[in-house]
Amino acid sequence: MTKKIYLIVFLLILLLPKESVPISREETTNSEKLRVFIQMEKFTFFTDEKVKVKIHIKNTSYEEVQLNIYDLLFTTFQPLVFDRYGREAENIVPYRMMNQNMSSILQSHKPRVILLSPRDTFIHSINLKEMYKLYTDREYRVKGFFLPDATTPKAIAGENVLSFKIVELGKPIQKSGVKRVKRAISPSEIVLLFLNSEKEKNWNNYLKYIKIKSYINSYSNFVKGYNSADEKEKLNIEEDFIKFLSRDRIDYIINFKILSENITEEGKAYVEALVKRFDRRMPVLYKYKYTLERYKELWLLTDVEATVVKGGIK
């Protein structure tokens, strides 16, 4: 009798409309809530100068995140310095050189607890000379890593890599990296800004990265009527398409990552990205392939292909 009751209840739940089923947000890990990137105020240093890098930890979620910060070198914050051949520079942190277990080192130390508000950023400054033996007239690169729990080896990798150099005293030095910065925005940066605008629901920015007359061809529910319409009708369809793109989607973006960028000699670019979207049952991971074309000094999105993939965003 009891089994029959359970069966009836189960069938009734299945027959309920989706809107009547309670929606629960997925609990995200710190690696999904936090984004890491680094900043340097200049890229050439004299031998007697500190080589400072700032590691930014941004809370991209809508929840407060607790950070447990250890102030010991190469624990919570681990910038990786390597040469142009990809070899790590000589690390001079004693316990790193001796390959000691991090848990045993931190036993006698208590972390600083920092509560990072939603959309807020925590910045930590490090002198790379305290961690690495750096030689003059060598090109180095640095990438940031952040460990939410320094007693475990799980780290969140930074999103960018910066280059720097140390020169002898008396040599001309470029005080700022501004002159070395290329002002043109790459296709992958456009896609990054595009996806972030959707995630933040900043529709004015979102729409300015799209070439509407071309991008509309990626959507079958618009393209047929658009291609057969006259100029006046096309304007109305474009307005409807813009409203469709900037709608408040149920499958909002949880996280995303740029995978690759390829610029052809014909002036087109292809950028692949992983996008994790919310779903009532479980998040869905999509692989997007964007096509971009040059527009003055920028790139505009003209086409997109999406496929569902397995796995997650690391």
| AA letter at 285 | L
Residue 238, CB-side half-sphere exposure with 13 Å CA sphere: 15
Tell me how far apart the alpha carbons of residues 158 and 40 are, in angstroms, rounded to a whole number: 14
Tell me how far apart the alpha carbons of residues 5 and 86 are, in angstroms, rounded to a whole number: 65
pLDDT of 86 strictly over 90: no
pTM of the shown model: 0.48
CA separation (Å) from 31 to 18, 76, 146, 274?
30, 14, 10, 16
Percent of the chain residues past pLDDT 90, beyond the cut? 64
User: Using CA of residue 125, residue 131, residue 136, residue 141, what is the dihedral sign?
Assistant: negative
pLDDT of 148 strictly over 70: yes
Closest among 164, 65, 163 to 122, alpha carbons compared = 65
pLDDT, tens digit (0-9, with 9 covering 90-100), for 15-72: 444 333 332 223 335 667 899 999 999 999 999 999 999 999 999 999 999 999 998 9
The CA-based angle 174-178-181, given to 5 degrees, is 110
> Is 2.60.40.2970 the CATH number for 30-180?
yes
Percent of the chain residues past pLDDT 70, beyond the cut? 85
- Window from 102-106, 189-193, 287-291 with minimum mean pLDDT: 102-106
- Window from 14-18, 130-134, 175-179, 267-271 with minimum mean pLDDT: 14-18
Closest among 122, 124, 127 to 54, alpha carbons compared = 124
Closest among 292, 253, 288 to 274, alpha carbons compared = 288
Can you give the residue ranges of every domain in the chain? 30-180, 187-216+249-309
More confident residue, 162 or 105: 162
More confident residue, 16 or 3: 3
Closest among 194, 221, 277 to 26, alpha carbons compared = 277
CA separation (Å) from 133 to 82, 95, 163, 236?
11, 15, 16, 63
Pairing of β 284-295 and β 298-309 = antiparallel
Residue with tokens 């319409």, as numbered in its chain? 229
Tell me how far apart the alpha carbons of residues 4 and 157 are, in angstroms, rounded to a whole number: 52
pLDDT, tens digit (0-9, with 9 covering 90-100), for 235-254: 999 999 999 999 999 999 99
Q: What is the dihedral of CA 236, 237, 238, 243, to 10 degrees?
A: 90
Tell me how far apart the alpha carbons of residues 271 and 268 are, in angstroms, rounded to a whole number: 10
Q: Tokens in use for 105?
A: 């080192």
CATH number belonging to domain 187-216+249-309: 3.10.450.50
Q: Which residues, 6+ apart, have CB-to-CB distance to 75 below 8 Å?
A: 102, 105, 106, 147, 150
The predicted structure's pLDDT at residue 95 = 84
The predicted structure's pLDDT at residue 241 = 95
Indicate the burial class of 35 (C-beta count within 10 angstroms; 0-12, 13-18, 19 or more): middle
